[in-house]
Amino acid sequence: MTVVATNPTKIGGPRPPLQGISIRDALDADLPAIVEIYNAAIRGRISTAQLEPVSVEERLPWFRVHSPESHPLWVAEVEGQIAGWLSFQSFLTRAAYRRTAEISVYVNEKFRRGGVGHMLLEKAMTQSPRLEINALVGCIFGHNEPSLRLFERLGFERWGFLPCIARVDDVERDLVIVGRHIPLQA
Ligand SMILES: CC(C)(COP(=O)(O)OP(=O)(O)OC[C@H]1O[C@@H](n2cnc3c(N)ncnc32)[C@H](O)[C@@H]1OP(=O)(O)O)[C@@H](O)C(=O)NCCC(=O)NCCS
């Protein structure tokens, strides 16, 4: 298989889907690869409000909060490599929001535009009823066009717009909240 690196911010055409993508619950041993993908996205400056790289140790509490039965953390594997990951987390901690989850999805740059993000997000939607989640939201910078398009492609709508709420390298950035209701009896 040939994996072609792409510019993560370029609005280019799709490429043939990667073959043999599999998704499973993340294991402790996956955390370094998960962190590596996250740190590359931090450097890219369009994905996350985290501005400094994180260490595996710093990410451990976040990792431990996930559970396959309530708020999963999944990894997508391609030929034995961690190509991407998706996490569920509480949207807001108060009880009335317990059926709403925020999801984050990150794909290794060299596997992008091959369908990994789409497959992870699609699985989040199909598994939500089992997890008793009936609304999914994503919090995305307004200049993160690839991610906005990914969520839109899966039927998410723009539910919120918070102008100039973040400051990244002296540039004020907007936050878009995308969301989608998931019927519990899917
Ligand atoms: C956003 C991201 C997860 C997409 O993952 P991916 O595996 O490359 O996406 P896919 O190949 O599954 O693409 C699915 C759809 O997303 C959209 N998309 C993905 N990348 C795109 C890009 N660079 N430009 C335009 N649209 C893009 C397209 O609609 C695409 O459908 P298509 O291929 O039929 O046109 C990936 O770019 C990434 O990891 N970005 C950094 C992390 C991030 O921003 N996460 C969001 C915060 S939650």
Determine the distance separating the centroid of ligand 1 and the alpha carbon of 42, expressed in angstroms.
16
pLDDT tens digits for 14-43?
Answer: 678 899 999 999 999 999 999 999 999 998
DSSP 64-115: HH--TTSS-EEEEEETTEEEEEEEEEESSSSGGGTTEEEEEEEE-GGGTTSS
The residue behind tokens 């999963």 is: 72
pTM of the entire predicted model: 0.92
Structure tokens at 32: 């370094």
pLDDT of residue 13: 61
Residue 44: pLDDT band (50, 70, 90) is confident
Structure tokens at 100: 């709403």
Determine the distance separating the centroid of ligand 1 and the alpha carbon of 149, expressed in angstroms.
7
Regarding the beta carbon of 102 and ligand 1, being less than 6 Å apart is answered: no
Regarding the beta carbon of 112 and ligand 1, being less than 6 Å apart is answered: yes
Secondary structure percentages of the chain, helix, strand, coil, to 5: 30, 30, 40
pLDDT tens digits for 123-156?
Answer: 999 999 999 999 999 999 999 999 999 999 999 9
Q: Which CATH number fits domain 21-137: 3.50.50.60, 3.30.413.10, 2.40.160.20, 3.40.630.30?
A: 3.40.630.30
Sign of torsion, CA 59 103 39 93?
A: negative
Q: Which residues pair with 178 in a beta bridge?
A: 138, 158
For the chain, what are the domain ranges?
Answer: 21-137
